Homo-oligomer: A and B are copies of this chain.
Amino acid sequence: MAKEATALETGLAIIYGTFVKYADSGDGGDPTTINKKELSKMITEQLPLLDEEGMAKTLMKELDEDEDGTMDFMEYCGLITGLSMILHMVISDQLPK
Please list the residues of chain A having a beta carbon within 8 angstroms of any beta carbon in chain B: 3, 6-19, 32, 42, 45-48, 73-74, 77, 80-81, 83-85, 87-88, 91-92
- Residues of B near A17 (CB, < 8 A) are 7
Would you call B73 and A80 a contact (CB within 8 A)?
Answer: no
Q: In the bound complex, what is the Cα–Cα distance between A4 and B23 (angstroms)?
A: 24
Would you call B12 and A80 a contact (CB within 8 A)?
Answer: yes
| Given A73-B88, A77-B85, A81-B77; A14-B11 close (CB under 8 Å) | yes
- Residues of B near A91 (CB, < 8 A) are 16
| Given A16-B87, A87-B16; A46-B7 close (CB under 8 Å) | yes
Would you call B88 and A84 a contact (CB within 8 A)?
Answer: no
